[in-house]
């Protein structure tokens, strides 16, 4: 039953500047950016402070109104789009976008949830420090959303996921209480680490309003090689060699198939064929260091020389300038956009025990081709973390509604195969709406029960982001 006094109370508490209710004001906040999900909402709330977030949540809980927290809306699983209930309130963090502090002695950056990741990266850079979280959507996504989904990206192999970069969190719990966990201490062993529950919870336990993040020394010395490999097995052997010999300098180890290069050369501008022939697959390796680019180049050339000699790769192109480095990276960075330009496709963000990737690639392809012989897999990802974006494009000549017709069954095939290898059905994109059924089907029943217990404990009224994750 709808509480008719709720909206007037909310507007009175926060003001008409913060609460928008007109249909044309609300409409832009109802869908995810890919257009896969569209829902309803009675209002969009855009608070300017943690206190306004707290007042909003307290009123929503009292009236049992569902709350959908929203960051930059760059998620791939529909986690920030409201469901069909007309009672929803979308809570956008975009106005809470202040950097509260940058400390180059403690090496911490404290930012409000609505800060754009790219802006934080540049602010750290100007302070001669590195915020290593880096991903394709960095100039649109917000740091609060990065925490809520425990975002990954290209530098995880060296610096870890978002979780590993977080020292403290400020958040508002569903009852409007403020969780003052914005400590920037490197070490604090005083009880359960509660912020870990909020990180990766996809807005289902509360609203993250600010984060204390770790900064690192700038790694301005960079050296990149594109290595051609015959197979995922060869990529794996190359990874083992680089990991042991380059240590902490190994900043990225990205994999993509020759088919991905075809796609990029067809759809993207300003990219070049990297070698005189097409190879089955490629690995893009970046080493980075605080100092001495010449030494870094020498190291990379020596290790790649050894790899060529030991037949751990087929060919290699080392960057001799910044522009070469950037054009090698472009081959990898343009894959998603090229695939979008190519037409409808299914995305699968999965991870595997890294040594299982070669076997998985063989059995997965066989399984899919048995169902759909001309299906076109485009496989790329953060190989060094065991993370593949195992994407499937519709076969040539298939109908436009191919994803609607076959998507669910093909996705189930992929995720079941991943589970069979002990992998994860979501490496870095989360669950949201997209993977919820598969998550509930495949997750260990005890873990599901524990998660539901925690959800019930922190959000007894069940107002936080309904229909997502759990």
Q: 140 to 169, contacts with a copy of itself by CB under 8 A?
A: 149-150, 152, 156, 160-161, 163-164
Cβ at position 345, least distance to a copy of itself in Å? 21
Looking at the Cβ atoms of 17 and 164, the one nearer to a copy of itself is 164
Residue 104 found at the interface with a copy of itself (CB under 8 A)? yes
H helix intervals, 247-384? 258-267, 293-309, 322-333, 335-342, 357-371
Residue 305 found at the interface with a copy of itself (CB under 8 A)? no
Residue window 402-441: x/- pattern of binding to a copy of itself, with contact defined by CB under 8 A: --------------------xxxxxxxxxx-------x--
Looking at the Cβ atoms of 201 and 403, the one nearer to a copy of itself is 201
Figure out which of the listed residues 54, 90, 131, 299 binds a copy of itself, where binding follows CB under 8 A: 299
Figure out which of the listed residues 146, 201, 391, 403 binds a copy of itself, where binding follows CB under 8 A: 201
Cβ at position 57, least distance to a copy of itself in Å? 14
Q: Which stretch binds a copy of itself (CB under 8 A): 32-40, 87-95, 239-247, 403-411?
A: 239-247
Element (H, E) at 147: helix 143-148
Residue 107 found at the interface with a copy of itself (CB under 8 A)? yes
Cβ at position 340, least distance to a copy of itself in Å? 22
Q: Pick out residues in 325-384 that bind a copy of itself (CB under 8 A).
A: 351-355, 382
Residue 3 found at the interface with a copy of itself (CB under 8 A)? no
Figure out which of the listed residues 126, 192, 370, 373 binds a copy of itself, where binding follows CB under 8 A: 192
Q: Which stretch binds a copy of itself (CB under 8 A): 45-53, 97-105, 338-346, 396-404?
A: 97-105
Q: Which stretch binds a copy of itself (CB under 8 A): 1-9, 68-76, 200-208, 324-332?
A: 200-208
Cβ at position 386, least distance to a copy of itself in Å? 5
Looking at the Cβ atoms of 269 and 447, the one nearer to a copy of itself is 447
* Cβ neighbours of 21 (radius 10 Å): 16
Q: Pick out residues in 110-139 that bind a copy of itself (CB under 8 A).
A: 128
Residue 189 found at the interface with a copy of itself (CB under 8 A)? yes
Residue 79 found at the interface with a copy of itself (CB under 8 A)? no
Looking at the Cβ atoms of 76 and 271, the one nearer to a copy of itself is 76
Cβ at position 69, least distance to a copy of itself in Å? 16
What SS3 string covers the chain? Answer: CCCCCHHHHHHHHHCCCCEECCHHHHHHHCECCCCCCECCCCEEECCCCHHHHHHHHHHHHHCCCCEEEECCCCCCCCCCCCCCCCCCEEEECCCCCCEEEEECCCCEEEEECCCEHHHHHHHHHHCCEECCCCCCCCCCCEHHHHHHCCCCCCCHHHHCCHHHHEEEEEEECCCCCEEEECCCCCCCCCCCCCHHHHCCCCCCCCEEEEEEEECEECCCEEEEEEEEECCHHHHHHHHHHHHHHHHHHEEEEEEEEHHHHHHHHHHCCCCCCCCCCCCCEEEEEEEEECCCHHHHHHHHHHHHHHHHHCCCCCEEEECCCHHHHHHHHHHHHCHHHHHHHHCCEECCEEECCHHHHHHHHHHHHHHHHHHCCCCEEEEEECHHHCEEEEEEECCCCCCCCHHHHHHHHHHHHHHHHHHHCCCECCCCCCCCCCCHHHHHHHCCHHHHHHHHHHHHHHCCCCCECCCCCC
Cβ at position 216, least distance to a copy of itself in Å? 8
Q: Which stretch binds a copy of itself (CB under 8 A): 17-25, 171-179, 312-320, 334-342?
A: 171-179
Nearest to 155 by CA among 165, 145, 144: 165
Residue 446 found at the interface with a copy of itself (CB under 8 A)? yes
Q: Which stretch binds a copy of itself (CB under 8 A): 47-55, 192-200, 275-283, 326-334?
A: 192-200
Given 3-state DSSP classes, what are the helix, strand and coil percentages for the chain, each rounded to the nearest 5? 40, 20, 40
Figure out which of the listed residues 17, 25, 27, 180 binds a copy of itself, where binding follows CB under 8 A: 180
Figure out which of the listed residues 190, 272, 276, 323 binds a copy of itself, where binding follows CB under 8 A: 190
């Amino acid at each position: 039953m709808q509480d008719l006094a709720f909206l007037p109370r909310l507007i009175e508490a926060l003001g008409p500047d913060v609460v928008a209710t007109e249909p044309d004001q609300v409409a832009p906040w109802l869908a995810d950016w890919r257009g896969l999900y569209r829902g309803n909402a009675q209002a969009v709330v855009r608070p300017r402070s943690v206190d306004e977030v707290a007042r909003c949540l307290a009123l929503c809980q009292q009236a049992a109104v569902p709350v959908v927290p929203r960051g930059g809306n760059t998620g791939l699983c529909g986690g920030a789009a409201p469901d069909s209930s007309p009672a929803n309130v979308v809570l956008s963090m975009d106005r809470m976008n202040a950097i509260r502090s940058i400390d180059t002695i403690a090496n911490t950056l404290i930012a409000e949830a609505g800060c754009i990741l790219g802006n934080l990266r540049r602010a750290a850079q100007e302070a001669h420090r590195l915020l290593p979280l880096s991903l394709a959507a960095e100039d649109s996504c917000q740091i609060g959303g990065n925490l809520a989904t425990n975002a990954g990206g290209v530098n995880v192999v060296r610096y870890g996921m978002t979780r590993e970069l977080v020292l403290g969190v400020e958040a508002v719990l569903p009852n409007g209480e403020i969780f003052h966990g914005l400590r920037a201490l490197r070490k604090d062993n005083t009880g359960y680490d509660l912020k870990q529950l909020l990180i990766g919870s996809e807005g289902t336990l509360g609203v993250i309003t600010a984060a204390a993040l770790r900064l690192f020394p700038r790694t301005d010395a960079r050296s990149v090689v594109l290595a051609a490999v015959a197979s995922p097995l060869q990529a794996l052997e190359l990874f083992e060699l680089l990991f042991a010999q380059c240590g902490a300098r190994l900043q990225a180890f990205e994999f993509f198939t020759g088919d991905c290069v075809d796609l990029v050369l067809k759809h993207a501008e300003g990219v070049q064929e990297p070698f005189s022939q097409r190879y089955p697959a490629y690995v893009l390796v970046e080493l980075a260091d605080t100092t001495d680019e010449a030494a870094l180049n020498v190291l990379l050339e020596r290790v790649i020389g050894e790899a060529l000699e030991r037949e751990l790769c087929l060919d290699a192109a080392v960057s001799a300038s910044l522009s070469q480095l950037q054009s090698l990276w472009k081959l990898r960075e343009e894959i998603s956009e090229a695939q979008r330009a190519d037409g409808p496709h299914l995305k699968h963000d999965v991870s595997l025990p890294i040594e299982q990737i070669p076997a998985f690639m063989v059995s997965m392809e066989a399984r899919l081709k048995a169902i759909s012989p001309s299906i076109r897999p485009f496989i790329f990802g953060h190989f060094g973390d065991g993370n593949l974006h195992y994407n499937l494009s519709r076969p040539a000549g298939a109908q436009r509604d191919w994803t609607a017709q076959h998507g669910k069954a093909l996705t189930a095939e992929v995720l079941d195969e991943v589970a069979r290898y002990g992998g994860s059905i979501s490496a870095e994109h989360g669950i949201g709406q997209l993977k919820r059924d598969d998550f509930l089907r495949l997750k260990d029943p005890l873990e599901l029960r524990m998660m539901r217990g925690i959800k019930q404990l922190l959000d007894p009224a069940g107002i936080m982001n309904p229909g997502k994750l759990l």
